[in-house]
Amino acid sequence: MFDLIASRYDFINRVLSLNLDMGWRRTLVKEVTSNGDIFKRQKEKIQILDLATGTADLAILLAKQYELVAPTDVRASILGVDPSQKMITIGREKIDALDLSNIITLELGDARNLTKLDDDFFHVATMSFGIRNVPEKEQVLCEIHRVLHKKQGQMAILEFSEPTEEAGIMGVFARFFIRYIVPIIGAVLSGSPTEYIHLQNSIKDFPPPKEFVRIIEGITCGERGVGSFKVNVSKPLNFGSVHLYIATPVIVE
C-alpha cells in the first residue's frame, strides 16, 4: 500500500493534518526524551528504534533533538525500520540532504518480527501512526518489549483515534473531518482512493485510548517470566483525534 503513495506521502500528510503532524511528532520527541534530558544523563551510547519510520520524519526530529542538547561525549544511534522499500528510499534521501546519516540508519523490516535486533538493547522505541495498520498489535508490543532496556527503556506510540463526546464541538468536527474529508482529499491528492478509504477505516477500528492503554498494560510477553508495560503518559492531542502513549517495560519473574 505505502509503496503506491510514497512519492507524495509527506505532502499528503501535511495537507490532511492541516500541517499539524510535525507538531504532534515534536510532542512525542519532547515527552520520550524528557525534553532532551535523556541525551544528557546517559553516559553510554543512546540507542533509539523508530518502527514504521516511513520517510523518517520522526527519526529526523529525534536526531535533531540529540544534536541540539547532547554533550560532546555522548553518542546516539537511531535505527528506522519500515516494510516499504520506497518509503525508506525517500527517507534516506532526506537524511542525506540533512547530513544526518552518521546518526540515522534505515532498514527494511517488519515490526512484528525484529529477530535481527538484540534483546534489552534500545533505550527508546517509537512508532508514529503505524500500529493501527498491524492486526497483530500485541505481537508488535511484545517485540518492542523484548528489544527495550528493561530498566531504562521507554516506548512511545503516536496514533490516530476517533474523538469522543468529551472533546466537545471541536471533537465532533475532528471526527467528521477524519471520517469524511480525509478519504476524499487523500484520494484526490494521491490518486489511490482505496488506500485512503483504508486509512479512515483503520482509524475508526482502532481501539479508543482507554482500551488501548488496557491492551498495552495487559499483554504478556517473553519466556523468562511475564513481561508487560506500565503506561505513564496517555495524552490526547488535537481534540482527541491523535493520542500519545508513553510506557516503560515491566518484568514479573
* Structure confidence at residue 189 (pLDDT): 67
User: Three cell numbers at 93?
Assistant: 534521501
* Structure confidence at residue 194 (pLDDT): 66
**Taking the CB of residue 219, how many other CB atoms lie within 10 A of it?**
19
Average pLDDT, consecutive stretches of 10 residues, N- to C-terminus, the chain (253 residues): 65 75 95 89 85 97 91 83 96 96 96 95 96 93 94 93 70 68 67 64 86 94 76 92 95 70
pTM equals 0.90
Is the CA virtual torsion 39, 42, 46, 48 positive or negative? negative
**Taking the CB of residue 246, how many other CB atoms lie within 10 A of it?**
20
Phi-psi region of 19 (alpha: psi -120 to 50; beta: other; left: phi over 0): left
* Structure confidence at residue 253 (pLDDT): 61
User: Looking at beta carbons, which pairs linking 177-183 to residues 24 or more positions away fall under 8 Å?
Assistant: 177/241, 178/203, 178/241, 179/204, 182/16
* Structure confidence at residue 239 (pLDDT): 83
* Structure confidence at residue 50 (pLDDT): 98
- What does the domain layout of the chain look like in residue ranges? 2-163+206-252
Question: Domain 2-163+206-252 belongs to what topology?
Answer: Rossmann fold (3.40.50)
* Structure confidence at residue 184 (pLDDT): 67
Cα(181)–Cα(179) distance, integer angstroms: 6
Q: Quick check: 107 and 81 in contact, CB under 8 A?
A: yes
